[in-house]
Structure 1
Amino acid sequence: MSFIVPVLKVAMSSTSSLNKRWQCRLTNTRERIAHLKDSGHLTDLSVAFSGHERVVQTHRFLLAASSPVFEAMLCGPMAEEGTLTLSDDLPEAFDWLLEYIYCEKVILPDVEMAIHVYIMAHKYQMDAVCDICSKYLINEVDEGTFPFVYETAIVLEDQNLLQRCDEVLATSSEAVLASRNIGHLRSSTLKRLVSHPMLNVSSEGQVVSALVTWGLAQLTRSEETSSVEPPEAEPGSDGKAVSEEGVAAEVSDNPQGRKKCLGEESLLPKLRQVVREFLPLVRFLSMTSKDFIKDVLPSGVISEAEGVAILQWLEGAFSIPLPNFVGYLATKPRKVLSTSVLFNDHKLAEDPDLVAVYYDKITCQIFDTFKTSEPIFLMKISSPCISSLDDGFIYVNNSKKEVIGKGSWRGLVCQFKRPVQLDPSETYTIIISVSHVWLLSNETLVKNQHEGLIFTGKAFLYNTKIHYFLVNDSEKTITNTSCTGTSSTLTSKF
């Protein structure tokens, strides 16, 4: 028994020194796992990537514990021994996955990385990571990144992300079509976009311009890969599912926009061949002659003879035979999103007694007990009676005083980053908080009607306009309408 005491003393002396073993120095399992990643200690697996020289050292059991697919690849009967080669995966995206696996990192740097990680997580059945990526893309998608996010949502069948893309399309169709990134869409996705019931533009020429952008991008890519002829259609146009790897490749291929081809004019003769499958979707006969001459004739998407025939039809020569691609949709104009309702209407110029009040800072209501008879999406609020050079914020609260939407007020307008859904079963309060502001207020009970839709509540500013679009339950899509109502003033006080 006497020989045990010196041994214990030596052990205690060693563990109390500054040179503790890492297992003792780190206090919990999370810290120890993070140490394994940072130090590379005990790694037993090399991960290589097709087309890349880089090799990552990692721990087999952690990958297997994080993904059923990795478990099958690493621990099943066909398990890889020393090196695991991942095809079509980006090393940087795998780095992010490792940060999540080892350190529970959940912050994504940008949309491009989120898409790459999302596709990898989907492939390896890492559902928690898929949720993180989906929520990030829902919050961050805009007109410029729309083509990449929309493609991803379709391929991965992410319904929540598709709904968010529908919102972006409903409110920003023209900006989406004007984006150079439209050239990165697959043929099947572009067809779906051009046919989308929520695509709304002021002129069909914007659709034609988008087709030109897309077509030239395909031809440029074909020229760069030394293809003799442009492809009949991009992968996916035959109705088959587009691969996840294909989406990832498109995002990596110059995500900031299509590279300008110096020989673009030489590609115009081939443009018709590339975009011909989309021509039946273009509503040529809904255009004005002026827009047709400006946007279509010089584009290269139709021949001179076809252009002359359509132009003659637009000028009233209805007996002229039209090209075969001009179908029943050609005369039907797309809906233009110009929805607005005016509350507390007042001719300010005719009332010299009105005086605006200046506030260094104010938080006040714009609407109270606001209610709509049908579900709507609120996009924007504007009023000439509140003006500030500083940016402010606007909040939409439900009856439980929960914030369901937040927007930025700039100048005379509040823009919501994403539409705020208002349901007829609820009442809402809309509040603005802004500094250095001139305010012309007037509390008024309002009741506005338009084609069966009724808005009620209290308005606190003259000439306040809300911009919205309807939620159409029967078609499960979003449609638009417009109205300018008159307010019924029941009480009025400052």
Structure 2
Amino acid sequence: MAAPCDWQTVRKTVKERGQYLLEAGIWSDCRFIVGTEPHQQVFEGHKLFLAMSSPVFEAMFYGGMPEKDPIAILDVQPDAFRALLEYIYTDRINLSSFDQACELCYGAKKYMLPHLVEECTKYLWSDLYPKNACRAYEFAKLFEEPVLMEKCLNIICNQTVEVLSESSFDDVEFSTILTVFDQESLNINSELDLFNAITRYANRHSQSSGAKVPRLDGIGSSTSNTEGNTRYPTFKDAIMKIRFLTLTPKAFAEGPASSTLLTESEKFAILMNISSSSATVPMPSGFSTSRQHRQKKSSTMNQRNDPMYNSLYMGNPAMDTSRTSMIQYQPGMNVFSEEGSNENSNKYYCTREMLRVTECMNTSVLDCAVTFTCDKNICVFGIQVPAQTIIEEDRQVAVGASYAELLYAHLLDADGSRLTYTHFTSRVNYRSLINISFNRPIYIQKNKVYKVGVVLHKMGWYTIGTYTLQSTCNGVVFTFGQGQNCDSVRDGLIRSIIFSVPSSNQNNMSNCSVCAIPGVPV
């Protein structure tokens, strides 16, 4: 597009000139294909503008392994990406709906724009209602926003009847159902409110051919690890959390006793125990034996008067809610190149020695993690995980076939504080190994416990394994499973740790340093 002559002279501010560059597309030197078919859109951008605002874009365009043009971004909605570009070019933030704020916050997290994350989070805080509290909780849980999670749980516990009656409750993740049913304080009339909600949820998803929730009987929803003792939750897991013993015999007989969600023997045993606390028939295995009614909270948190909210958001406007500002690097450190003249730029793969191989089916979201220590100071760049093996059970794929992978990976310290993370979305080949690079490499101190994890969002089969507890690479000894029970499903997808060895392997921060944030453990 040809620009009018001297267009710069009539635009007084940088944001006005940035807005014109974004809209006109002149001098653009990169393109993005955003979203999925049939709603994909192409955006043009300017590498310098993008890299000035985002360290992820800086690595993407000016790192050791620059991305090829056009760049596919499948996990961000076009409208959210347009809003993200508008923020980068003009500092303008236009939030008009809860859904938009969620989508924009996802993009801001992915490209490490902490001020935009903060504004989106504050908007979500101010726009919470029973209709969206569960979805906001899931969003906050995924992106590790504890203040927002607490606020959502307060709304869920204080306005439980309204939350359960909303049609949106039928679409929440099953893990959220279990969290709600676990709460000691719920503002419900009786446990029948919970039973009616899970009945509606079960009917909806049992009739949906594409449901991502488990069936009541667990058929098709469970899978075993190499020990043969791992399964996915079922509807029965939620039902067992209901405090049936707080009901009257009449209320139980007219409600749950007529439901197909309970077996005849379970109905009989529950009714006997409701009728008499000294019944000779025990409660069904795993069912709640509590006779205490849930507590009711008397008041809700008010964001304007809540000290936690004020200290985290209002009193510290520069706070980086993504917590990635904890790591700083000295000028001249080449952290993105695979090879280089100095030792810091060489990457090594500590590949865990596999003892036994099996496969695991991801039906919705699969969270895998492993703790580790090493005997030398190192810098961790990322991890290596296996791609899917097959699309469906007993269905093979052609050699060289690919699919769009979507996952989230992070590195935590011993206290559970997140040190770095990344959102990975790209086409990968089946039966391959995927290299996942964190947004920033992290300095790891010897003999300290760290935890590396990955959350898979694509349904399909993955290769897992059991491994030896120690692996050695380039003179560094890694010890895995520190401080946790070894579980092959939980840690079996972490194949390798990608790292480098500092030239001066002393206990100092000459190349990488952790900057403490007041009140935040590091």
TM bin, normalised by shorter chain, reads 0.5 to 0.7
In structure 2, C-alpha distance between the alignment counterparts of 1:151 and 1:235, rounded to whole Å: 21
> Measured at CA, do residues 220 and 168 of structure 1 come closer, stay the same or move farther in structure 2, by a change above 3 Å?
same
1:41 equivalent in structure 2: 26
Equivalent residue in structure 2 for 1:278, among 238, 243, 266: 238
In structure 2, C-alpha distance between the alignment counterparts of 1:234 and 1:155, rounded to whole Å: 25
In structure 1, C-alpha distance between the alignment counterparts of 2:307 and 2:66, rounded to whole Å: 53
SS at match of 1:98: helix
In structure 1, C-alpha distance between the alignment counterparts of 2:17 and 2:51, rounded to whole Å: 18
> Measured at CA, do residues 103 and 193 of structure 1 come closer, stay the same or move farther in structure 2, by a change above 3 Å?
same
SS at match of 2:44: strand
In structure 1, C-alpha distance between the alignment counterparts of 2:72 and 2:236, rounded to whole Å: 41
2:11 equivalent in structure 1: 26
1:327 equivalent in structure 2: 288
* Cα drift, residue 197 of structure 1: 2.8
1:176 equivalent in structure 2: 163
2:154 equivalent in structure 1: 167
TM superposition score normalised by structure 2: 0.51
In structure 1, C-alpha distance between the alignment counterparts of 2:194 and 2:179, rounded to whole Å: 13
Letter in 2 for 1:283: R
In structure 1, C-alpha distance between the alignment counterparts of 2:5 and 2:87, rounded to whole Å: 27
* Cα drift, residue 70 of structure 1: 1.8
2:200 equivalent in structure 1: 213
In structure 2, C-alpha distance between the alignment counterparts of 1:231 and 1:43, rounded to whole Å: 56
**Offset from partner CA, 1:306-358 (integer Å, 9 cap, x none):** 11321232223722232113234x32221134x4xxxxxxxxxxxxxxxxxxx
* Cα drift, residue 174 of structure 1: 1.4
SS at match of 2:159: helix
The reply to whether residue 102 of structure 1 matches residue 89 of structure 2 is yes
SS at match of 2:43: strand
Equivalent residue in structure 1 for 2:126, among 139, 146, 154: 139
Letter in 1 for 2:9: C
Q: Do 2:240 and 2:287's aligned partners in 1 also have CA atoms closer than 8 Å?
A: yes
Q: Could you list the runs of 5+ residues in structure 1 that have no partner in the other structure?
A: 1-18, 239-272, 340-376, 380-404, 406-417, 424-494
In structure 1, C-alpha distance between the alignment counterparts of 2:221 and 2:86, rounded to whole Å: 33
Q: Do 1:187 and 1:237's aligned partners in 2 also have CA atoms closer than 8 Å?
A: no
In structure 1, C-alpha distance between the alignment counterparts of 2:156 and 2:81, rounded to whole Å: 31
In structure 1, C-alpha distance between the alignment counterparts of 2:128 and 2:79, rounded to whole Å: 21
1:154 equivalent in structure 2: 141
* Cα drift, residue 78 of structure 1: 1.7
* Cα drift, residue 151 of structure 1: 0.5
* Cα drift, residue 182 of structure 1: 1.8
> Measured at CA, do residues 235 and 121 of structure 1 come closer, stay the same or move farther in structure 2, by a change above 3 Å?
farther
Letter in 1 for 2:260: G
Q: Which has the higher contact order (CA 8 A, sep 6+)?
A: 2
* Cα drift, residue 226 of structure 1: 11
2:279 equivalent in structure 1: 318
In structure 2, C-alpha distance between the alignment counterparts of 1:58 and 1:199, rounded to whole Å: 49
Letter in 2 for 1:82: D
Q: Do 2:216 and 2:235's aligned partners in 1 also have CA atoms closer than 8 Å?
A: no
In structure 1, C-alpha distance between the alignment counterparts of 2:146 and 2:262, rounded to whole Å: 36
* Cα drift, residue 20 of structure 1: 4.6
2:491 equivalent in structure 1: none
In structure 2, C-alpha distance between the alignment counterparts of 1:88 and 1:79, rounded to whole Å: 20
In structure 2, C-alpha distance between the alignment counterparts of 1:286 and 1:69, rounded to whole Å: 54
**Which protein is bigger by CA-based radius of gyration?**
1
> Measured at CA, do residues 422 and 46 of structure 1 come closer, stay the same or move farther in structure 2, by a change above 3 Å?
closer
- Calculate the aligned-residue CA RMSD, in Å: 3.3
The reply to whether residue 124 of structure 1 matches residue 111 of structure 2 is yes
- Give aligned-pair identity as a percent: 24
Letter in 2 for 1:277: D
In structure 2, C-alpha distance between the alignment counterparts of 1:297 and 1:303, rounded to whole Å: 9
Write 1 or 2 for the structure with the bigger share of helix. 1
Count of aligned pairs between the two proteins: 294
2:268 equivalent in structure 1: 308
SS at match of 2:131: coil
Letter in 2 for 1:36: L
Letter in 2 for 1:322: M
* Cα drift, residue 419 of structure 1: 8.9
Q: How does 1:222-261 map to 2 (within 5 A)?
A: 223-224=209-210, 232=218
Q: Do 2:164 and 2:197's aligned partners in 1 also have CA atoms closer than 8 Å?
A: yes
- Pick which of 140-149 and 153-162 moved more: 153-162
> Measured at CA, do residues 112 and 186 of structure 1 come closer, stay the same or move farther in structure 2, by a change above 3 Å?
same
